Amino acid sequence: MTFVAMICTSLCIGSPLAINRNQILSAEGLSLIVPVLSFHAVAFTLGYWICKFQPFRQVIFQICFICGLREEACRTISLCTGMQSSTLAGLLATQFLGSTQAVPPACSVVAMAIMGLCLASFWGNGYRIRDVPSLVIPKTGSAFNAQ
């Protein structure tokens, strides 16, 4: 199923990129990288942590308690908020505003797909958010090496 998702995502990414290639590679297009990445990073993070707050947690977990999907519910909400429909925004911008207005959604499609697939792979391999520091910071051996 992952292979099918990759193919479909690649097709969704390819079209907006091909249409807006020149504008994306211009200075204005490259200046969109930081805002687009920040937007999606904040969306994934807020989607995960908002459902951890007590008022929201009660509603969400009462629904998911029967199935035992507490952590899975937070992960699903994170992916749903981070993977907003940039493709639809690009199509609407191209249709009604012109192709130059479709550059931000085209950049957003790429960021959305890469970040969402990486996060899904991270969680699919059994990791949790609290495991990130141990994955990023390498563990060093003790100061006294056995001879």
Global pTM exceeds 0.75: no
Residue with tokens 């091909």: 18
Q: 10-residue block means of pLDDT along the chain (147 residues)?
A: 71 74 78 83 79 64 58 70 72 74 78 79 68 59 51
User: How far, in Å, CA of 111 to CA of 101, rounded?
Assistant: 17
User: How far, in Å, CA of 99 to CA of 22, rounded?
Assistant: 11
Confidence at residue 90, expressed as pLDDT on a 0 to 100 scale? 73
Residue with tokens 């609407």: 92
Confidence at residue 133, expressed as pLDDT on a 0 to 100 scale? 53
Confidence at residue 10, expressed as pLDDT on a 0 to 100 scale? 72
Confidence at residue 138, expressed as pLDDT on a 0 to 100 scale? 65
Confidence at residue 65, expressed as pLDDT on a 0 to 100 scale? 56
Q: Provide the strand spans (E) within 13-89.
A: none
Structural element, H or E, at residue 75: helix 70-82
Quick one: DSSP state of residue 79? H
Confidence at residue 67, expressed as pLDDT on a 0 to 100 scale? 56
Total count of residues recorded for the chain: 147
Among the listed residues 103, 117, 135, 128, the one whose alpha carbon sits nearest the alpha carbon of residue 35: 103
Other Cβ atoms within 10 Å of 45 Cβ, number:
14
Confidence at residue 143, expressed as pLDDT on a 0 to 100 scale? 52
**Measured on CA atoms in the order 122, 125, 128, 132, is the torsion positive or negative?**
negative
